[in-house]
Amino acid sequence: METYTVNITGEISEYQQRDEAIAAFAKLFSISPAQAEKTFEKAPIAIKKNVDLETADKFKEALIGIGVECIAIASSRAEDLAATQASVYSAEPDVSVQNNTSEPDALAATPMQEDEFKGFEFTIEGDPDYGFVTVQLPADKTIKVEASAMATMDTNLNMKTKFKGGIGRMMTGESLFINEFTAEGGSGEIGIAPGAPGDLSHQYLDNQTIFLQNSAFVACSEDVIVETKWQGLTKGFFSGESLFLIRCSGVGDLWFNTYGAIIEIDVTEDYVVDTGNIVGFTEGLDYKITKVGGYKSLFFSGEGFVCRFSGQGKVWIQTRGVDALVGWAHWFRPVKTNNS
């Protein structure tokens, strides 16, 4: 069953005064006005995670009732916002709230301790069509960015271009170079725009490894190792994709993008994905390339080869495929005719 996360946006409804709304929020969650003010300064921030849709709606009604703007989104999508959410409040509605018969201040809550901050602070805008990430770099920290992906930056950021990956990286379709941006003399901000129109996703690696397909890599923090992995002739050639994967490992932030929207799938046993829709997957999953049907289906169904994953881990897929777009657009291309 899909679960939902309720986030406050930090905005107050136009018919409500900010001081009154924050005071009501403090009373609602049994915290001090100073704590409530600090929470709004850190918005967008999650106040309840992994609840069913009905409970999420109850929280929304209570918050809107005191003039606080909020949203409820699927928890799978809310994970991408985790790095910007500095603390989480745990609240359980009482029976009267569940029956929707109480006033908003009946929704009591006990604040949890703030989560330990991990990674850079960042915001993602433009999803799911044209994802754009803005990263806050602390002083003397470095971020590695795919060549040509930097869109904006503060003047105190110093850029160095480094040769990465050799022939293997070139075979992935990526640039042979990665740009490193370092904040010198103070903190700085950088805006990053991927090349493909679509979603932008973030993962924090904690001694973990993610394999990315072709041009999915966008940026990572300094301690994340980016290298290429040989798939082998069988997997690479017959998949219709690159013979190499991009291997991202270590500790730190990782951003990657897709063509179309991105969907995260938890694999517990076996799962099948069309090779053109794979964005990435976690280490520990085994995979092999096979036909989806017989040889007749291979040549006439339009499906081709699929990737069969097994084991436990995560797979990220994209909702659109470049090959499918090319096939669709082929029939609309201008055709030159010979006039007799």
- For residue range 18-50, what is the model confidence (pLDDT) as tens digits? 888 888 888 777 777 777 888 888 888 887 888
Domains of the chain: 4-99 (3.30.1390.10), 121-328 (3.60.160.10)
Which residue, 262, 254, 251, 252, is CA-closest to 197? 262
* Cis? peptide before 44, omega within 30° of 0: yes
pLDDT tens, position by position, 312-323 = 999 999 887 666
Separation of alpha carbons 9 and 186, rounded Å:
28
Q: What letters, b where the CB count within 10 A reaches 16 and e where it falls short, cover 129-159?
A: eebbbebbbeeebebbbbeebbeebeeebee
Mean pLDDT for the chain overall: 75
Q: Are 25 and 91 in contact (CB under 8 A)?
A: no
Q: Give the other-Cβ count within 10 Å of 291's Cβ.
A: 14
The whole-number pLDDT of residue 79 equals 58
Separation of alpha carbons 233 and 170, rounded Å:
17
Q: Are strands 157-163 and 200-213 parallel, antiparallel or unpaired?
A: unpaired
The whole-number pLDDT of residue 332 equals 66
Q: Are 276 and 258 in contact (CB under 8 A)?
A: no
pLDDT tens, position by position, 39-79 = 888 888 887 888 888 888 888 888 888 888 888 887 766 55
The whole-number pLDDT of residue 117 equals 44
Instruction: Tell me: pLDDT of 101 over 50.
Output: no
Q: Which residues neighbour 75 within 8 Å (Cβ) at sequence distance 6 or greater? A: 2, 3, 4, 5, 49, 50
The whole-number pLDDT of residue 182 equals 96
pLDDT tens, position by position, 262-276 = 889 999 888 998 888
Helix (H) or strand (E) holding 168: helix 166-171
Separation of alpha carbons 29 and 27, rounded Å:
6
